[in-house]
Amino acid sequence: MRFRLTSILTLALITVFAQNPNMPSDFLRKEWHKERRQKLREKMPPNSVAVFFANAVRNRSNDVDYTYHQDPDFYYLTGYREPHAVLLIFKDKQKAPNGSLYDEIIFVQPRNPIMEMWTGRRLGNLGTKDQLGFEQAFNNTDFKDYNIDFSSFSQVLFFDFFNDVRDDARDKGDLYDLIEQFKNKANYPRKETLSVQREQPQNNLNTQVLTDIMDDLRGIKTPEELELLRKAVMISCIGQVEVMKAMKPGMSEREVQGIHEYVFKKYQAEDLGYPSIVGGGHNGCILHYIDNYKPALDPKELILMDLGAEYHGYTADITRTIPVGGKFSPEQKQIYDLVLAAQEEAMKICKPGTRFGELYEATARVINKGLAELKIIDKPTDRHLYYPHGCCHHIGLDVHDRGTYDVLQENMVITIEPGIYIQENTTKDPKWWGIAVRIEDDYLITKNGCEHLSSFAPRTTEAIEAMMMQPSPLDKFLLPELNKVTPGKN
């Protein structure tokens, strides 16, 4: 008994110390990624190999790169978050030179203490084995000499290249080099023969199949993914709620963006799923407005805020439109309620078996009728001027996530996001000009219906106005005016 208690205590201590204090502990587990590779393998054609490359490092200017973001398919299958790597997954077991059998192999960037001092820790091949659970993990510089006969496979599956990977670093084993090595080994047709090749495949290269397989896999979320998505959605909702409380006329679009993004960071969301859209007044009519430059918001205008926290790779996609002054004008409320009614019409049929197209048709029906009643349009087709986008997409590792866009199935996570955008001079009556409303929520498709994941963020005009009356902790966060502070004096 005593021995067992000691053992349990020791185990608990080891578990505590085994956790890396530099990292959050709720990333997807290596076993989860391994299982995803197995699911992919099951869907691959007989005697095939699938080849995936890490995302490119993209240069911003001079010696500064954009923040690195792993390719979502690569991340899904590996958990690896560094650049310059290639993954091969085989349908059948392959024989290693030492006689052992394997059905997956990864080549990753090598450890390099000097580079790591500048740009951060690397897993290296040993870390990839240990922390990501790969039995066959090598340095990317070894890929060149990796002996593989791609012509022996019935199909070589990969995503085609868009020629946007530059030979910047000229390092052996960098992404450019890995792609070149692969092209050589797989007899990839070079530019002059590429169009012929695409029309009439002459070899075993297949750039289509992986799209279908990855759409199937990624479109249906596992419980582990749902846990991360729920966090991303809740964090994004809290951002909307805190902005509702903090909103004051005269704030800038950028400041509003900053409040949302501060909340995201406060809850450890490391990234944004897409650049934040924060548009006051007419700027809300620009569907993907990301300039966010307007210096002072007018109390009479609406502000459209479409933001998604990305939590451990998974992103929310939520839009709220609120009155800067805290109260909707009668015209703003009429348009708002119409968009809300459109969203609710789609929510009623948001369940397994419904087609994506039916969701859109439900929103369009309501918006057509409503715009005609308000005399904003004469004929239904004119609606496209005011509601020019689709209403629904998957979310996950991408904001417009992979998935089949046919029929809703259990454990898909989708958005419903109707909107109306009335630009200047597009209606006879100017009272509508500059009103832009989008309401976007995230839903988990359940066995018999859907779960409204983003309901924490108020959605009706009454609930928004009530939330905007609440005090905000930021009411007391007063910063000095920039032109009234002097270096060295505080």
Residue placing its CB nearer to ligand GLY in the complex, 82 or 401: 401
Smallest separation, CB 74 to ligand GLY (Å)? 23
Name residue 87's beta-bridge partners: 52, 106
337 near 254, Cβ under 8 Å? Answer: no
Site for ligand GLY in 425-444 (CB under 6 A): 440
Give the whole-angstrom CA distance, residue 137 versus residue 191: 32
Among 27, 32, 274, 456, binds ligand GLY (CB under 6 A): 274
List all residues 6 or more positions away from 429 whose beta carbon is below 8 Å from its beta carbon.
375
List all residues 6 or more positions away from 238 whose beta carbon is below 8 Å from its beta carbon.
263, 267, 456
49 near 157, Cβ under 8 Å? Answer: yes
Cα 83 versus chain centre, distance? 18
Interface characters, 421-440, with Mn ion (x: CB under 5 A):
-------------------x
Smallest separation, CB 454 to ligand GLY (Å)? 12
Among 157, 217, 285, 399, binds ligand GLY (CB under 6 A): 399
Smallest separation, CB 351 to ligand GLY (Å)? 22
Residue 441 binding Mn ion, by CB under 5 A? no
239 near 264, Cβ under 8 Å? Answer: yes
Among 242, 255, 306, 442, binds ligand GLY (CB under 6 A): 306
List all residues 6 or more positions away from 307 whose beta carbon is below 8 Å from its beta carbon.
236, 239, 240, 257, 260, 261, 264, 272, 276, 277, 278, 318, 319
Among 317, 345, 401, 442, binds Mn ion (CB under 5 A): 317
Residue 417 binding ligand GLY, by CB under 6 A? yes
Residue 317 binding ligand GLY, by CB under 6 A? yes
Residue 415 binding Mn ion, by CB under 5 A? yes
Smallest separation, CB 128 to ligand GLY (Å)? 33
Which listed option, ligand GLY, Mn ion, none, makes contact with residue 274 (CB within 5 to 8 Å by class)?
ligand GLY
Name residue 181's beta-bridge partners: none
CA dihedral 230, 316, 334, 302 (to 10 degrees): 120
Smallest separation, CB 457 to Mn ion (Å)? 13
Smallest separation, CB 61 to ligand GLY (Å)? 26
Residue placing its CB nearer to ligand GLY in the complex, 93 or 389: 389
Residue placing its CB nearer to ligand GLY in the complex, 49 or 305: 305
Q: What is the CA radius of gyration of the chain?
A: 26
- One-letter amino acid at 411 equals N
Residue 109 binding Mn ion, by CB under 5 A? no
Q: Angle at Cα 262 formed by Cα 257 and Cα 263, nearest 5°?
A: 105
Residue 174 binding ligand GLY, by CB under 6 A? no
The residues that touch ligand GLY, with contacts defined as CB under 6 A, are 274, 306, 317, 399, 417, 440
For Mn ion, the binding residues (CB under 5 A) are 306, 317, 415, 417, 440
